[in-house]
A and B are shown apart, each in its own frame.
Chain A
Amino acid sequence: MSLPPHRVDYSPIIERPPIKWPNGERVALWIAPNVEHYEYMPKKHGPRDPWPRTPYPDVQQYSYRDYGNRVGFWRMLEVLDQYKIRSCVSLNLAVLEHFPEIRDAMVERDWDYMSHGIYNTRYLYAYTEEEEREFYRDNVETLKRQTGKQLKGMLGPAISGTVRTPDLMTEAGLIYHTDWMHDDQPVPINVETGKLVSVPYSIELNDSPLFRVNYEADYFAEICKRQFDQLYKEGAESARVMCIALHPFLIGQPHRIKYLDEILSYITSHSDIWMTTADDIAEYYIENYYDQAVEHAKQYRV
């Protein structure tokens, strides 16, 4: 019997049958800007306090994040455009409603979207099953109405969830979940109905945890390049996924932007990389490797 939460079968990466990306690329690289809105006066609901620094509002922290939508997003966009990056946005869906210029810029570039909840100040932890079911209905409907796209995946709002989350995601038609930081390849997640995979996101190559403390963007550039080098080497035998997670209010700061350019310049100078999105990785994996991975993992059950 596996240990709780019984969602993932153990499967050591060195024993797995090799996987290949569509054109034999070594690394599938996806860029995940977190396009978010944090509420000025959120309602505290559940165990996490959106603005722990002060009684609400916290104008410093609120406006720091709002900077991302007013200024940082646009500066980040210039660099992503320069490298023709088709991002897969981790999206607070209410951004589409509040800030149509941002929606239009994303739609124009045919980006993909995974849900990151409605607002980054509304967490899933305390949702009832029915509330969470309604949440996915809202997510799917809002994305479709605003962008024409079908919602396929989710990074939970501020990376929150419930124990029911994977089951309710597939019930709503989603195929991937990026809250799992457990692997360098997609991994089947056990659900009651349908198929769900985790697509590797990153809380390491991620400007938010880094720049919350005393790392700076030169270090971010260095670790992104190191990560890429290692995965590129390993990916010659069995393909890997690499994600770089961005937040416009952080990477879009004037003192950081040149380091994003440095990262993308380095990575895109290589051949054999699949510049893609989590939507496409999940679909390709489910189509080609999901069943094989489930079958292979059975031998490790105890």
Chain B
Amino acid sequence: MPAERRQGMDHTHHEWSPISTRGKLNWPNDARVALCAIVTLEHTEWELPEGSFSADQAGGLGVRPFPDYPRFSHREYGHRVGIFRVLDVLQKLGINATVAMDSQTAEHYPYLVKYCLDQGCEIIAHGVSGSQMISGNMSVEAETIFIRSSMEIMEKATGKKPRGWSGTDYGESERTPDLLRQAGFDYVCDWVNDEQPYPMRDGLTALPTMLEMDDLFTMSNRRVTVDRFAQSLKDGFDAMYHDGASNGRLMTINLHPWLIGQPFRIGYLEEALGYAMGHEKVWAATGSEIVDWYRDNEPI
């Protein structure tokens, strides 16, 4: 439905709320910035299932005709090599990762599930695979099954229900937030419109990602070089650290191990996040820790 011209948003998922009018969000220990690192582990399928939708055309050579060996294997690099570099850097800096894992990865790479859990990462759901995203073309039945099966497979693979949801390529239909809540999710990372968590309708919490701090968006879609990406992370942190003195800020970055985990890129990530973590009033936390704190500590 086209927008109706009246006060507020043109959808019902959350309220209009300019940051200038909000109370002060206080993070633990007077932190100015909560830093959340989402690490997206997604399996790229050999063949796209019939009727599935994928928006992601970026990275490497783009999409080629079947069989696309380079694309398939380029993404697979993340599961075999990149993830370990990325988690090493994060652990070294004291950042506990929030791993967004699709259900094909969870089922078929038990080593990675165990590895992430052993590292103390939080694992959240990320749909079925990196090749299929939720879109407005999905039927309500198909989308319900998509979300519920992802929840169930993740629970079986990790031993507990995932609390967070990060949609493949930020894909949603008009129904997605409602279906996520009905499936038992607490928070969603698809909405990139804020620097603080905020309530969505009926109890779901939005944990917004900084889209420009998503390595895939910035380096693959926009083709910004990794040194400039690292500079943006540092510049962005500086501004949020400044603004966070008067009202706490959330800096959620989204990392794809097949991309940022390449040998020549990883050092830039370490440098940028090392710069951020070198500040005193930074709280590195997982998605659930941030959402729980936000829910328990109303802005004042």
Contact = CB atoms under 8 A, between A and B. Distances in A.
Interface of A: 37, 39-43, 53-57, 59-60, 63-64, 66-67, 69-71, 73-75, 94, 97-102, 105, 118-119, 122, 211-214, 216-218, 253-258
B18 A59 contact: no
Contacts of B223: 213-214
B239 A70 contact: no
> Which secondary structure dominates chain B's binding surface?
loop
Contact of A55 (B2, B137, B239, B243): B137
A39 B10 contact: yes
B7 A97 contact: yes
Contacts of B146: none
Contact of A59 (B1, B8, B16, B172): B172
A98 B10 contact: yes
A67 B135 contact: no
B240 A63 contact: no
Contacts of A55: 53, 135-137, 173
Nearest to A138: B5
B29 interface: no
A102 B16 CA distance: 11
Contacts of B174: 40-41, 57
B195 interface: yes
26 contacts: A40-B174, A41-B2, A41-B174, A42-B2, A53-B55, A54-B136, A55-B135, A55-B136, A57-B11, A60-B192, A63-B190, A63-B193, A66-B193, A70-B17, A71-B19, A75-B243, A94-B5, A97-B5, A98-B16, A214-B223, A214-B225, A216-B224, A216-B231, A253-B210, A253-B236, A254-B240
A126 B76 CA distance: 46
B152 interface: no
B171 interface: yes
A213 B224 CA distance: 8
A101 B1 CA distance: 25
Query: Looking at A74, A253, A255, which has the most chain B CB atoms within 10 Å of its CB?
Result: A255
A75 B239 contact: yes
B19 A57 contact: no
Given A54-B136, A258-B235, A63 B2 contact: no
Interface in B196-253: 208, 210-213, 222-225, 228, 231-240, 243, 249
B3 interface: yes
Given A71-B18, A98-B6, 18 more contacts: A40-B9, A41-B10, A42-B3, A43-B2, A54-B171, A55-B137, A57-B136, A59-B170, A67-B193, A67-B211, A70-B16, A70-B193, A99-B7, A99-B16, A101-B18, A105-B20, A254-B237, A255-B213
A73 B194 CA distance: 12
Closest 3 CB pairs of A and B: A255-B236, A60-B170, A254-B239
Contacts of A255: 212-213, 231-236, 239
B282 to A, nearest CB: 14
Contact of B195 (A71, A213, A257): A71
A39 B171 contact: no
Contacts of B211: 60, 64, 67
B84 interface: no
Contact of A74 (B20, B191, B224, B239): B20
A287 to B, nearest CB: 35
A94 B3 contact: yes
Contacts of A254: 195, 210, 235-240, 243, 249
Contacts of A54: 53, 55, 133, 135-136, 171
Residue of A60, A71, A98, A213 most packed against chain B (CB within 10 A) = A60
B118 to A, nearest CB: 32
A139 to B, nearest CB: 12
Interface in B1-36: 1-3, 5-11, 16-21
B148 to A, nearest CB: 20
Given A66-B193, A94-B5, A74 B169 contact: no
Nearest to A254: B239
Contacts of A67: 192-194, 211
Given A64-B193, A71-B19, A40 B236 contact: no
